[in-house]
Each structure stands twice: as structure tokens, then as C-alpha cells.
Amino acid sequence: MQQNQVKKYGNANRYRILRIIGKRNYEIVCAAVDMHTGEKVAIKKINNVFEHISDALRMLREVKLLR
């Protein structure tokens, strides 16, 4: 992978961001609409998730609970 290339997971063009719900030091949560299904979703972007092991473990627990 080239240095300036960013790996994307999923199709970012599938969602239309409606508004920012909240911001914290290491994350941002947005309300969005899935353009294929019309379903309203929340998207959480986490910056530098592996910078601190305690933050990474907290995020892992949250993902497991949401599943």
C-alpha cells in the first residue's frame, strides 16, 4: 500500500451524513442515512484507537456489547 493511500472498510459513499451527534477527545459520532436501505444509522469514527491499550480495550468491549 502506498504511503498516501488510505484503506477504507465498507463503502463510504453508501452513507449520507446528517449531523454530528457528539465529539470527544478521540472519537466523533455522526447521524447518517444508509442510501441503499434508507435506514438511519450512527457512525462512530475513532482516531488512534491503538495508541493506548486501555482505550483499545474499552473500544473492543463497546463493539462486543453492540453486537
Residue 14, pLDDT > 70, answer yes
Q: What is the mean pLDDT of residues 16-42?
A: 91
Strand, coil or helix: 20: strand
What backbone phi and psi angles, to 5 degrees, belong to 53? Answer: -60, -35
| CATH number for the domain formed by residue range(s) 13-64 | 3.30.200.20
Cα–Cα distance measured from residue 51 to residue 55, given in angstroms and rounded to the nearest whole number:
8
Contact 33, 41 (CB under 8 A): yes
Cα–Cα distance measured from residue 1 to residue 24, given in angstroms and rounded to the nearest whole number:
30
Q: Indicate the pLDDT class of residue 10, thresholds 50, 70 and 90.
A: low
Q: Indicate the pLDDT class of residue 1, thresholds 50, 70 and 90.
A: very low
